[in-house]
Amino acid sequence: MSLSGIMSSALSALQTNTEALRVTSNNIANLNTTGYARRVVNEQTQSYGGQLGGVDIATVERVIDQYLGKETLSATGTSSQYDTQASMYGQLNGILGAPGDDTALTTQLTDVSTALGQAVLAPTDSATQLGALSSFQSLATQISSLAGQIQGLRSQADQQIASAASQANTLIKQIYQLNAQARQDTISGNTDSATFDQRDQAVASLAAIVGIRTQTQPDGSINVTTDDGTSLVGTTYGQLSYSGGSATGGTYPPIMLTNIDPSTGKTVGNAQALDSHIGSGQIRGLLDMRDKDLADASEQLGELARSTAAAYNAQHNANTAFPPPATLDGRDTGLLSSDALNFTGKTTIAVTDSSGNLVSRVDVDFDAGTMSVDGAAPASFGATVGGFTSALNSALGSNGTASFTDGQLSISATGGNGVAIADDATTPASRGGSGFSQFFGLNDLFRTATPSILSTGLSAGDAGGFAAGGEIDLALKGPDGAIVKQAQVPVTSSMTIGDVIGALNAQMGGTVSFALNADGSLSETPANPANDLTVTSDSTARGGTGMSFSALFGLGDQQAANFATGFTVNPSIVSSPQTLAFAQLDIDSTTVAGDSVVGHGDSSGALALQNVGNNAQNFMAAGGFSARSGTLGDYAASIYQDIALASQTATSNQTAQDDRLQEAQSRQSSVSGVSLDEELTNMQTYQQAYSASARVLTVVQQLYTTLLQIQ
């Protein structure tokens, strides 16, 4: 080899090792830089005319492992999903408290039973009455407060979804822009450009928000899709649209995805709902909590409220206070005066003086359609609610009044007397399974925002009575959040109850089947039990009651949650604790005016109320719970157990996925991360190679000098 060839080889070695030292220095400088992938120098020999001519750098490559990269992205999404769920479950558990805490629902129910036990010993003592009232109010306040707090968590999750969607948009656009730079770098051979690190970091951040997959293209760009293949970054880029907002009928609007043409900034194609396409990530965790887990907790709490109201109200309506109250004001039943009465059995409305002695009695035989005043000959009354009320008002005469306005029945006594009601022991009055006073809510202990009695006693042939122009809007959601079916059902004034139900069935097209039961309750059966039905809006109003069809029949899953909202003790009892019904009307066919029918020390009503806590109740299916039977305390404990189990599952998943992510990141770091020892070894090697190349140049210079000195 000539001296010029030796010199050329040495110079190429100097240049190559200089570049290698630069790469090594950059690696060391980025030792702690997040997302930095170390670079390696690939060298190659130079040749000229088949002769070796030195060394050159073939490529400078980022060291990455495609499999570990995909595993890290997947683990990032699932880890973020369960981190989010575990965090929200922590807040939910904090709101509920642990069983045994003073504020726990199970404790509140026990406190009610304890207070009623004191009332049994002294039913007319103001202290025990106030103690019982306080326990009732504490229970009601806790239920309604929990309902509001759970809804607050749902709203919080919704706001976080809106914020996460905005962050995702920023990252998606950033990845698209970095793709453009990556293409240019790939064309120019600059495969170790910082652009690739920046893009990987943006992809990792996006994976924590929305579970994604990536596919590297030959031109250096990457395509980004959701877990199920919905495109987010490709030739166009996706844009998520969600501003958040209050739930309509318990249902939140979907996150919409549109594709943007970057050259024009305009949308391409139609927008699509993204919720069901998100398989992991923060947004998936938030969606699951908002639309499923927290919604289930709301429905379960609502069913507890409904059953609590139904159980205690049934007994409180069978009881009376001492002395009986002057007026019994019922709840809004949603019934019209023209509705068929549809009661069976017998009941007695008694007017008593302040000492509990009978003043007058009205015995009602609904089967015969007659009523008798103080044992006189029975007289017929009309078969409608209005006809019955008019006849009762006449039968009370100067001793009292009865009225039915906007769905509410009211019975009052005059002259400082009181009113007490008792269904017949043998053939009790019943409409849809509820007693006379219970159905109208004349002596309710608890009040719910919507009727707790869903057995309306209405039949298919009864007039709907709904104002013209009303509409029921329904949405059926699958377990993944996708809308399975939507329907708008217009309701006209001429439609019967059966017509409305028929229209619901027609519009839902078999995805949900509705049927009116014999007791006037409405059953809804989804073709897929995993789907949830929600009433997104209902503008129907039944006559002057203002009661919507969905509220009257408890239509849709959200109605279950509504029972807990505004759950309160009857305001008339709050203002007059002495009207707590701790006694019972003692009357039979032989009782006449002047006889004592309510005793001063009678605690039979308080004892019966205390027993409510020990009696099995029938609970409807709600929030993932199947229909079941048990005590109120058992059901409350089941709520805690269900949430505790779900919370434990979320925490276990969080731990498993966090460990998975750490392992994937550790393995990825072992491949792509910078090892200081390795880089220092490389630096020493390149420095020695540089020094050797420089020494060769020195020797060549000396040879040239020697040759020039030869004469």
More confident residue, 5 or 305: 305
Domain that holds residue 486: 470-553
More confident residue, 33 or 440: 440
Q: Tell me: pLDDT of 622 over 70.
A: yes
Give pLDDT, residue 49. Answer: 63
Residue 142 CB coordination number (10 Å): 20
Q: In which band, very low, low, confident or very high, does the pLDDT at 246 lie, cut at 50, 70 and 90? A: low
Cβ-based burial of 637 (10 A; exposed 0-12, middle 13-18, buried ≥19): middle
Give pLDDT, residue 58. Answer: 66
Statement to judge: residues 535 and 484 lie in one domain: yes
Identity of the amino acid at 584 = Q
Would you say residue 506 lies in a domain? Answer: yes
Tell me the backbone φ, ψ of residue 251, rounded to 5 degrees: -110, 130
Would you say residue 568 lies in a domain? Answer: no
Statement to judge: residues 216 and 246 lie in one domain: yes
Give the whole-angstrom CA distance, residue 661 versus residue 667: 10
Tens digits of per-residue pLDDT, 624-638?
A: 899 999 999 999 999
Q: In which band, very low, low, confident or very high, does the pLDDT at 155 lie, cut at 50, 70 and 90? A: very high
Q: In which band, very low, low, confident or very high, does the pLDDT at 550 lie, cut at 50, 70 and 90? A: very high
Helix residue spans in 488-570 (DSSP H): 497-508, 549-553, 557-562
* Residue with tokens 């409807």, as numbered in its chain: 620
Q: Tell me: pLDDT of 43 over 80.
A: no
Give the whole-angstrom CA distance, residue 409 versus residue 325: 15
Q: CA angle at residue 433 from 431 to 435, to 5 degrees?
A: 65
Tens digits of per-residue pLDDT, 462-473?
A: 999 999 999 999
Q: What average pLDDT score do residues 366-395 get?
A: 97
Q: Tell me: pLDDT of 667 over 90.
A: no
End-to-end C-alpha distance for the chain, whole angstroms: 23
- Closest to 596 in 3D by CA, of 352, 235, 373, 387: 352
Tell me the backbone φ, ψ of residue 420, rounded to 5 degrees: -135, 145
Statement to judge: residues 16 and 81 lie in one domain: no
Identity of the amino acid at 101 = D
Give pLDDT, residue 682. Answer: 78
Tens digits of per-residue pLDDT, 460-504?
A: 999 999 999 999 999 998 887 788 999 999 999 999 999 999 999
Statement to judge: residues 170 and 216 lie in one domain: yes
* Residues β-bridged to residue 40: 61
Tens digits of per-residue pLDDT, 553-584?
A: 999 888 888 999 989 999 999 999 999 999 99
Give pLDDT, residue 352. Answer: 98
And the tokens for 14? 């100097």
Sign of CA dihedral 294, 299, 305, 311: negative
Give the whole-angstrom CA distance, residue 641 versus residue 644: 5
Would you say residue 438 lies in a domain? Answer: no
According to DSSP, residue 255 is labeled P
Statement to judge: residues 59 and 71 lie in one domain: no
Tens digits of per-residue pLDDT, 317-339?
A: 999 999 999 999 999 999 999 99
Q: In the predicted model, what is the mean pLDDT of the chain?
A: 91
Give pLDDT, residue 498. Answer: 97
Statement to judge: residues 283 and 254 lie in one domain: yes
Give the domain-ending residue among 274, 293, 312. Answer: 293
Q: Tell me: pLDDT of 439 over 90.
A: yes
Tell me the backbone φ, ψ of residue 239, rounded to 5 degrees: -135, 125
Would you say residue 270 lies in a domain? Answer: yes
Would you say residue 247 lies in a domain? Answer: yes
Task: Please enumerate, as own/partner, the contacts of 82-85 that have beta carbons within 8 Å and a separation of 24 or more.
Answer: 82/285, 82/650, 82/653, 82/654, 82/657, 82/658, 83/282, 83/285, 83/654, 83/658, 84/282, 84/285, 84/286, 84/289, 85/285, 85/288, 85/289, 85/293, 85/650, 85/653, 85/654
Three-state DSSP class for residue 546: coil
* Residues β-bridged to residue 364: 347, 371
Statement to judge: residues 35 and 81 lie in one domain: no
And the tokens for 436? 């006379």
Q: In which band, very low, low, confident or very high, does the pLDDT at 711 lie, cut at 50, 70 and 90? A: low
Q: In which band, very low, low, confident or very high, does the pLDDT at 422 lie, cut at 50, 70 and 90? A: very high
Q: Tell me: pLDDT of 418 over 60.
A: yes
Q: Tell me: pLDDT of 699 over 90.
A: no
Q: Tell me: pLDDT of 1 over 70.
A: no
Q: In which band, very low, low, confident or very high, does the pLDDT at 201 lie, cut at 50, 70 and 90? A: very high
Give the whole-angstrom CA distance, residue 511 versus residue 533: 10
Alpha-carbon 408 to chain mean position: 33
Contact 242, 481 (CB under 8 A): no
* Residues β-bridged to residue 379: 371
Would you say residue 644 lies in a domain? Answer: no
Statement to judge: residues 77 and 203 lie in one domain: yes
Give pLDDT, residue 51. Answer: 66
Give the domain-ending residue among 553, 569, 589. Answer: 553
Statement to judge: residues 35 and 164 lie in one domain: no
Domain count for the chain = 3
- Closest to 335 in 3D by CA, of 436, 429, 406, 439: 406
Give the whole-angstrom CA distance, residue 708 versus residue 711: 8
Would you say residue 222 lies in a domain? Answer: yes
Give the domain-ending residue among 553, 577, 605. Answer: 553
Contact 290, 161 (CB under 8 A): yes
Give the whole-angstrom CA distance, residue 605 versus residue 127: 17
* Residue with tokens 């206070």, as numbered in its chain: 321
Contact 149, 97 (CB under 8 A): no
Alpha-carbon 191 to chain mean position: 47
Q: Tell me: pLDDT of 658 over 90.
A: yes
Give pLDDT, residue 241. Answer: 94
Alpha-carbon 683 to chain mean position: 58
And the tokens for 136? 């009732």
Statement to judge: residues 74 and 29 lie in one domain: no
C-alpha pair distances (Å), 581 with each of 128, 221, 312, 321, 446: 13, 76, 11, 4, 12
Q: Tell me: pLDDT of 668 over 90.
A: no
What percent of the chain is modeled with pLDDT above 70? Answer: 98
Tens digits of per-residue pLDDT, 638-654?
A: 999 999 999 999 999 99
Statement to judge: residues 44 and 180 lie in one domain: no
Statement to judge: residues 54 and 169 lie in one domain: no
Contact 254, 273 (CB under 8 A): yes
Give pLDDT, residue 260. Answer: 94
Q: In which band, very low, low, confident or very high, does the pLDDT at 590 lie, cut at 50, 70 and 90? A: very high
Please enumerate in sequence order all residues whose Cβ is within 8 A of that of 16, keeping only pairs 6 or more positions apart, or say none. Answer: 41, 43, 55, 56, 57
Give the whole-angstrom CA distance, residue 109 versus residue 142: 11
And the tokens for 174? 């950033």
According to DSSP, residue 36 is labeled P
Give the whole-angstrom CA distance, residue 159 versus residue 282: 13
Q: Tell me: pLDDT of 686 over 80.
A: no
Give pTM, 2 decimals: 0.88
Would you say residue 21 lies in a domain? Answer: yes
Tens digits of per-residue pLDDT, 165-195?
A: 999 999 999 999 999 999 998 888 887 778 8
Highest mean pLDDT among 55-69, 366-380, 545-559: 366-380
Identity of the amino acid at 218 = P
Helix residue spans in 509-603 (DSSP H): 549-553, 557-562, 571-575
Q: Tell me: pLDDT of 9 over 60.
A: yes
More confident residue, 201 or 9: 201
Alpha-carbon 562 to chain mean position: 13
Please enumerate in sequence order all residues whose Cβ is within 8 A of that of 612, keeping only pairs 6 or more positions apart, or say none. Answer: 311, 312, 315, 632
